[in-house]
Amino acid sequence: MEDVKPQLFKVTVDGIEVEVEPGTTILQAARKIGPEVAPPAMCYYQPLKGSGGKCRACLVRVAAGSAKDPRPMPKLVASCITPVQDGMVVENTTNPQVLDARKGVVEFLLINHPLDCPVCDQAGECDLQNFAFDHGAANTRYEEERRTFDKHDLGPYVQLHMTRCILCYRCVFTADQITNKRVHGVLNRGDAAEIGTYIEKAIDNDFSGNVIDVCPVGALTDKTYRFKNRVWFTKPVDAHRDCPTCSGKVTLWYRGEEVIRVTARRNEWNEVTEFICNTCRFETKNTSDWVIEGPTKIARGSVISANKYRADLQKPAFGQRLAAAQYKTVDDTRDTSQLGIQQLPPERFNKSLPSATE
């Protein structure tokens, strides 16, 4: 008996049509088109089942619910948890209401977030930095005292900076799904809600380091890497090893000849698809322990790509970029006699300039 393929739904996002399977969310459909139309996501993490729907960063407007019922949805919806319908029309970057709402989400996320970027280890690869740069405002209206928390060591490798946390729940879902004894979660409610462990119990399972990779901000940091370097001064390379516990596929971050950090590999959406064990992450930092595959592919707009491997990844000098942005084509077909401008004969331009000794 032949396998019957499911009927595909046609969805239009910002005027671009794509065909997806039933059950696909709006965010996943937009990602199939490309990053130019995909909404941002601070809590959604595709490898983690149940993530999404908390930060509201991915709000979009559904201009037509489906081909059968083309009425628009009355409010903006979270694209990461809203399934598509056949004939659905979605507006993301083309809708001013969506952009205004996204700017408000940035403002809410930054209300209690400290300005730690100059000292934060996540700077340069922070999802909140990118989100605020693309959709945030230049100033803040918040004048009240920000909430603060003490730093906590969650075991020998992970330190929690709860003041930076945006409560995306990614670390909770990670511990739930890849370990068999989660000991941390969200404690308290409202403004007092925080990630923590009951009576400071340590996170000591062999995959605890993955909570560092899934954190979109600098709330969970690697204690072996703290304050060692800025990420844009390092060179990442893909490598692998035969590991009995995990896949062994990692990214090594070099400072000169020294491996100063080991992380799991990320896809184009900055998501880890294959989690690694603590042995690979924290205890195997010699080049001889790994098989080097080559330079890690870094997004062109990332600060990490500055001054790295290939010439096509190097950003042009500031003067060149400024000249390119302000360049204006001069129309030489105008009749300059009407403007009172005397045209010089061509031979005047061909004469060589006098030397400095003349």
Residue after which a domain boundary falls, among 173, 204, 222? 222
pLDDT value of position 313: 47
Q: Does 174 lie in the same domain as 152?
A: yes
Backbone phi, psi, residue 196, to 5° = -170, 175
Residue 218 to residue 127: CA distance in whole angstroms: 10
pLDDT value of position 320: 64
Look at strands 249-255 and 258-264 and give their pairing. antiparallel
- Are the CB atoms for 137 and 107 separated by under 8 Å? yes
The sheet that has 158-160: what strands, in order across it?
152-153, 158-160, 220-222
In a domain, 73, yes or no: yes
In a domain, 195, yes or no: yes
For residue 136, give the CATH number of its domain.
3.30.70.20
pLDDT value of position 140: 83
Domain that holds residue 339: 317-357
Residue after which a domain boundary falls, among 188, 222, 256? 222
pLDDT value of position 299: 80
In a domain, 104, yes or no: no
In a domain, 186, yes or no: yes
Residue after which a domain boundary falls, among 99, 128, 146? 99
pLDDT value of position 256: 87
Please give the radius of gyration of the chain, using alpha carbons only, rounded to the nearest integer. Answer: 26
User: Is residue 222 within a helix (H) or strand (E), and if so which, with residue range?
Assistant: strand 220-222
Which residues contact residue 106 at a Cβ distance below 8 angstroms, ignoring those fewer than 6 apart? 57, 131, 132, 135, 136, 137
pLDDT value of position 22: 93
The pTM of this model reads: 0.78
Residue 188 to residue 111: CA distance in whole angstroms: 19
For residue 35, give the CATH number of its domain.
3.10.20.740
Q: Does 83 lie in the same domain as 58?
A: yes
* The two three-digit tokens of residue 272, written as one number: 């880890």
Strand residues in 117-163 grouped as ranges (E): 152-153, 158-160
Backbone phi, psi, residue 272, to 5° = -85, 125
Cα 89 vs. chain centroid, distance in angstroms?
A: 26
Question: Over its length of 358 residues, how does the chain's per-residue pLDDT go in tens digits?
Answer: 456 677 899 999 999 999 999 999 999 999 999 998 999 999 999 999 989 999 999 999 999 999 999 999 999 999 999 999 999 999 999 999 999 999 999 999 999 899 899 999 999 999 999 999 999 888 888 888 888 888 888 888 999 898 999 989 898 888 888 877 666 667 767 766 777 665 355 577 888 899 999 999 999 999 999 999 999 989 999 999 999 999 999 999 999 889 999 999 999 899 999 999 999 999 999 999 999 999 998 887 788 877 565 555 454 555 566 566 666 666 666 665 555 555 555 555 455 555 544 4
pLDDT value of position 175: 82
Q: Does 73 lie in the same domain as 13?
A: yes
In a domain, 106, yes or no: no
User: Residue 337: is it exposed, middle or buried by C-beta count within 10 angstroms (0-12/13-18/19+)?
Assistant: exposed
pLDDT value of position 85: 95
Question: What is the crossing angle of helices 127-135 and 96-109, to 10°?
Answer: 130
